[in-house]
Amino acid sequence: MSASVLYDHPGPRARIRNRVLSVVFGLLLVAGLYGIYRAFDSTQQWTWQKWQPFFETVTVNGQTANFWTDYAWPGLLGTLQAAATAMLLALAFGLVFSVARLSEHRWIRVPAGVVVEFFRAVPVLLMIFFLSFGGFWVFGTLIPPFWSVVIGLTLYNGSVLAEAFRAGIRAVPRGQSEAAYSLGLTKGQVMRMILIPQAARSMLPVIVSQLVVVLKDTALGYIVSYPELMLEGSKGYAVFTNAVPTFMVLALIYIVINGLLTLVAHLLERRANRLGVTTPATKAAAATTTTGLSTGGGA
Tell me the pLDDT tens digit for each residue of 88-103: 999 999 999 998 998 8
Tell me the pLDDT tens digit for each residue of 193-236: 888 888 877 788 888 888 889 999 999 998 899 999 999 988 88
Bin 160: left if φ > 0, else alpha if -120 < ψ < 50, else beta.
alpha
Domains and CATH numbers, the chain: 63-277 (1.10.3720.10)
- The answer for residues whose C-beta is within 8 angstroms of residue 160's C-beta and 6 or more apart is 94, 120, 210
pTM: 0.79
Angle subtended by helix axes 243-275 and 229-240, to nearest 10: 150
- Please name which of 212, 196, 200 lies closest in space to residue 259, comparing C-alpha atoms: 212
Tell me the pLDDT tens digit for each residue of 283-297: 443 344 334 433 344
User: Do 97 and 159 contact (CB within 8 A), yes or no?
Assistant: yes
